[in-house]
Amino acid sequence: MFYPLELPRPRKALYGEYGKKLGQIRAQHEPQGSAGKLWRLLLPYLKEYTATSSVHGIRYLADPKLKYFERIIWLLILVATSIGASIVYVDLSELYQSMRIQTTIKNTMYPIFAAPFPAVGICPRNRINWIKLENEAPYHFLGPNISAAEKELFVRFFTSAADSHLTRLTEMSSFFNNAPLAANLTLLDVLDVATVIEYVLLKCSDFFSACLWRGNPQNCCEIFELQFTESGSCWVFNSLISPARRQKEKDNKYYPRRTPQYGEGSGLDVFLRLRNSSLIRPNKRGVYVMIKQPQQWSDVVRHVPHGAQTQISMVPRITTTDQRTRALTPRARRCIFPDEVTHPQYKNLPGFEYWVGNCRSKCHQEHVINLCKCSPSVFFPVTDKDNFTVCRPSDFKCLHDNRLTFSVERHPQEDEYVDNLYKESMICNCFISCTQLIFDRVFSSSTLDNNDTHTELGTIRLDIFYQSGWFIQYHTNMRFTFVELLASFGGIIGLFLGASLLSAFELVYFFTIGLYLYLHGERKLSFQPRPLQPAVITIPFGQRKITPAKYIR
């Protein structure tokens, strides 16, 4: 038998009035002010995010099953992995920005017939028909009634002008050192310098004795073409400069010429000898040889001695560039494509294909125009689209006065590495072409031997050939693209945090759209605390049940 006093009775609250005191205690620990209100407002939302986030480890920060120190451990782990991911990402970003391209060997056995044979320029030092210059040309250009002083002026000026190079204008010092003679140079301004020089030049048949291409005899005057370069007038083989040669390229698929053979006598073999010994002048023996691209206006020359057999063996090197590198600037990829004409550093001669050699020639021309306000037609091309004047004979005084500037070309970054001795020089910063063909040349000269080489036809022999039947092809491509950076970053985030791109979208959503809906009461939290429910305690009491109610939280 049970008595009512023996039944369980509700225990008195520890702090008097249970609800009131508990509310006071909670109020003492909750943040006060506007910050406290904001925290109380956002705390349930933050708990929902941590409970549902797809980033590994975040949900442990609000897991009610974990103790306080366990949550601290998981917080430290998250901080450590986030720092590790940031360090690796910064390293990848620096790699992406600094080393985005690479040049590798694409083919070690690229056949020589896949690349055109270079254009070969022969620039004789003794290039003037002196008899024609002294006896015929003055009267042809100035009229039959010219005076002796006018004739002397004409002969002396064009003798010095015909032998000069842009980098060797000291050849004209003998003329300009004669001040009284140079003072009358304006009398010749009615003449075009290039026209007069072309008139008095030696003809092709005057010094070409025999020519062979791949061992087969050729007509020298058909395969060589007279062109003006920065080294003056030259006879050029396999060129694409003139309109006639460009048309030949369109009509003949085998032009410019190529060769599948290599070794001595497999390329261009030329014998040179002046037809008339009266045309020889002292200190004008030998020729200058220029090896360049078929589409290139000019390049440096090398002197080949008289009375010698000179062999020039060549090893080509070709570099191509992937089209995906167009996403980078020319400075970053270290080259420029021919169609990037709007780039500030794009320089090219009008109507020419872009090569670094043509860019340098254009740079040289700009320096001449800036200093002398004209462009000499004996050194640079002249077109109808030019907005400058052609240098007259009297303008060559300015060219001679600035001969030190025109004799040296420097790169803008050269001063960082070289103690420059030339304060006055041409500064050119030209990008190489993204498809670049270069010929490494080796010159070797020996005395002519008529018994062994049968060179009685000429006093100079030039044998220009490929050293090998194969050469190396290089290719420049993107080393680290944006897609690869994104894939690497995704791997880093997955390794350190177990997250993905959707995790980033989830984070953005929760703190933009989701937060907006929550603040405006349009979103219900899935973990809202349940309202207080009375807990039922059933005690058996005979045949009756007494069920006291006790509110629990």
478 versus 194: which is more confidently predicted? 194
Q: Which residue has the higher pLDDT, 258 or 54?
A: 258
Cis bond upstream, residue 8 (ω within 30):
no
pLDDT surpasses 90 at 57: no
Closest CA relative to residue 230, chosen from 61, 377, 30: 377
Whole-angstrom distance, CA of residue 137 vs CA of residue 126: 17
Q: Which amino acid is at 476?
A: T
For residue 21, pLDDT beyond 50: no
Q: What are the Cα distances from residue 425, in Å, to 346, 414, 461?
A: 21, 12, 36
HSE at residue 75, side-chain half, CA atoms within 13 A, is 10
In the predicted structure, residue 406 carries a pLDDT above the cut 80: yes
pLDDT of residue 27: 45
Could you give the C-alpha distances from 534 to 95, 503, 548, 549, 553, in angstroms and in order? 65, 41, 10, 6, 9
Enter the tokens of residue 63: 């897991």
User: 């390229």: which residue's tokens?
Assistant: 249
pLDDT value of residue 289:
95
Of 165, 216, 121, the closest CA to residue 379 belongs to 165
Q: Which residue has the higher pLDDT, 45 or 336?
A: 336
φ/ψ region of 307 (left if φ > 0, alpha if ψ in -120 to 50, else beta) reads left
Range with the poorest average pLDDT among 50-64, 66-80, 382-396: 50-64
- pLDDT, mean of residues 148-170: 91
pLDDT of residue 2: 47
Residues 6+ apart with CB under 8 A from 39: 31
- Tens digits of per-residue pLDDT, 355-389? 999 999 999 999 999 999 999 999 999 887 888 89
Q: Give yes or no for residue 261 having a pLDDT over 80.
A: yes
What six digits make up the tokens of 223? 């395969």
Angle formed at CA 538 by CA 536 and CA 541, multiple of 5 degrees: 155
Question: Residues of 319-355 as b/e, b for ≥16 C-beta within 10 angstroms?
Answer: bbbeeebeeeebeebbbbbeebeeeeebbbbeebebb
The DSSP output letter for 294 is: T
Q: What is the structure's pLDDT at 533?
A: 52
**pLDDT, tens digit (0-9, with 9 covering 90-100), for 271-284:** 998 877 777 777 77
Residue the block writes with tokens 């062979």: 212
State the pLDDT at residue 458.
54
Range with the poorest average pLDDT among 8-12, 285-289, 392-396, 474-478: 8-12
User: For residues 395 and 163, which has the higher predicted lDDT (pLDDT)?
Assistant: 395
For the chain, what is the total number of helices (H) and then of strands (E)?
20, 19
State pLDDT tens for residues 225-257.
999 999 999 999 999 999 999 999 999 999 999
Q: Give the residue among 365, 231, 362 at the shortest CA–CA distance from 301.
A: 231
Q: Which pTM was predicted?
A: 0.74
Q: What is the mean pLDDT of residues 549-553?
A: 49
Residue 200, pLDDT score: 93
pLDDT beyond 50 at 352: yes
pLDDT at 89 over 70: yes
Give the rounded percent of residues in the chain with a pLDDT score beyond 90: 43
Give the pLDDT of residue 1.
47
Tokens of 205: 């048949």
**Across all residues in the chain, what is the average pLDDT?**
83
Amino acid in position 174: S
* Of residues 165 and 345, more confidently modeled: 165
- Which tens digit of pLDDT belongs to each residue from 417-463? 888 777 788 999 999 999 999 999 999 988 876 544 444 445 889 99
Mark out the alpha helices in 163-281 (DSSP H runs).
Answer: 173-176, 179-183, 193-200, 204-207, 220-223, 243-251
Predicted pLDDT of residue 278:
72
In this predicted structure, the answer to whether residue 14 has a pLDDT above a threshold of 50 is no
pLDDT digits (tens, 9 = 90+) for 478-529: 877 777 777 777 788 777 777 777 777 787 877 788 788 877 775 566 554 5
The pLDDT, as a whole number, for residue 116 is 94
Between 404 and 68, the more confident residue is 404
- Cα 371–chain centre separation: 29
Q: What is the pLDDT of residue 16?
A: 42
Q: For residue 496, give the 3-state DSSP assignment.
A: helix
Whether the predicted pLDDT of 76 surpasses 70? yes
113 in Cβ contact with 262 (< 8 Å): no
For residue 478, the SS3 value is: strand
